[in-house]
Amino acid sequence: MSEAQPQPDQFDPENVAGLDPEIIEAVVAALDEADTEKAKTLAISLHWSDLADLLETLNHDRRENLVEAIAAEFPANVLTELDESVRERVIEQLGLSHVANVVSDLEADDVIEIVEELDYAEREEVLDALSDDDRSMVEEGLSYPEDSAGRLMQRSVVDMPSHWSVGQAIDFLREADDLPRDFYDIFLVDPNQRPLGAIPLSRILATRRHVALNALMIADLKLIPVDMDQEEVAYLFRQRDLISAPVIDDTRRLVGVITVDDIVDVIHEEHEEDIMRLGGVGEEDDLFAAVLDTARSRFIWLLVHLAAAILGAAVINHFSGTIEQMVAMAVLMPIVAAMGGTASVQTLTVAVRAIAMRELTPANALRTIGKEIVVGMVNGLLFAVIIGGVAWGWFGNPALGGVIALAIVINFLVAGLAGSALPVYLQRFGFDPAVASSALLTSITDVLGFYVFLALGTWLLL
């Protein structure tokens, strides 16, 4: 399928990236008017990533009608770009036999992405449509842990003996009929298939034929173990500005290559996952999930926050006598909790991001925590003056203003300490800081904020 190229008179800077909203409107109008031929023409003219976006944008009925219209020319690459829940429905509509035929043209890593979510019988039906070599590569990839380099890598690699010349390399590349669809580096290997170095393809094209490959070789090669987590792989690509990197097994043999286009997807997935977890929702909770699935995904985290709220209510109940004697404290309590919670979430967000980017490590953890405590104290003092003054002017009670000011300072200090230290220690003990930190931090700041404010009020005002 050829990619539609924009014409000069159609150039719109606002729609350079992403799917043009006018295309969506045109397809929707065609489907609503039952003009499936027009909808098909518009759809198949799109790049496969834009077609995936279009399918995700349409409601269920329109999506089914469009998939039915383009089924005979359905691009396999679209399946790799679809959200998992949408992809499952599209595969069900196309039928496994049809899917098996279209995926045979994909790279092994793309096939793995599609079939890994299928049950055993469905997976076998798709794999049966592949050639023996392709099936072997896909099954090998599925044998590696989920989200590992082994699942991510392409099995087809361009490798050559280190004693070859540039001329031999060029002749080999011209005559070979089983090269990967896209590749950026050529890897030099020893007789045991262990990588010695890499040569960017551009260096070979710019060098005379008689030059030996080992004279062009980049020996400082970052080797990726086949079981390395994909998040670690993405970190290496970012740190080393890699375009591709070789993957080795436990005997250091070259078994595959990971390219930057796959890493871009990993970075997006990991970022999305952390954002979702910070909000207390699961990976399956997205715009395309069913209502019951979404409700179930969110229930457990809402239950955790309910437990925190009950604990806070218990603290308030403990000081009910104080509140009865000074109603102003009940009015001001939400301010203390809200300010402490906001400050802690700010600190937590910075800490979790720093952990994800490998910027916050055991070597600088204490320094970072100390910095956040100082930041909390500075902001606490500033807001203590503001909020204390407001309370004094509001209720005409300078002692009350002093109490809430002191409570704000303490709560900001705790927010800085807990927001920075909690994710560090959760990670140290094997927990995902993005998952657990938010609920625990809310409990700490709310409960402690209420307790400090009410305890100070009881001690200093009554």
CATH 3.10.580.10 fits 159-276, yes or no: yes
Amino acid at 249: D
CATH 3.30.420.40 fits 291-461, yes or no: no
SS3 269: helix
224-to-195, 227, 238 alpha-carbon distances in Å: 11, 8, 14
Amino acid at 42: L
SS3 180: coil
**Paired sense of beta strands 185-189 and 224-225, if any:** unpaired
- The reply to whether 8-147 and 159-276 are identical in fold is no
Domain ranges of the chain: 8-147, 159-276, 291-461
Q: In what order do the strands lie in the sheet with 159-161?
A: 159-161, 185-189, 195-200
pLDDT in tens, the chain (462 residues): 334 444 434 444 444 456 788 888 999 999 999 998 999 999 999 988 899 989 988 888 999 999 999 998 898 889 988 888 888 889 889 888 888 888 877 887 888 888 888 888 888 888 888 888 888 888 888 889 988 999 999 888 999 999 999 999 999 999 998 888 888 999 999 999 999 999 999 999 999 999 999 999 998 888 999 999 998 999 899 888 899 999 999 999 999 999 998 898 888 777 766 666 666 555 555 555 666 766 776 777 777 778 878 888 888 888 888 888 888 888 998 898 889 888 888 888 888 878 877 788 888 889 999 999 999 999 999 999 999 999 999 999 999 999 999 999 999 999 999 888 888 888 888 777 766 556 677 778 888 888 888 998 888 887
CB 118 within 8 A of CB 148: no
8-147: CATH, from 3.40.640.10, 3.40.190.80, 3.40.50.720, 1.25.60.10: 1.25.60.10
The rounded distance, in Å, linking the Cα atoms of 204 and 39 is: 46
CB 113 within 8 A of CB 153: no
SS3 22: helix
Close Cβ partners of 311 (under 8 Å, ≥ 6 residues apart): 443, 446, 447
328-to-146, 317, 332 alpha-carbon distances in Å: 55, 16, 6
pTM assigned to the model: 0.67
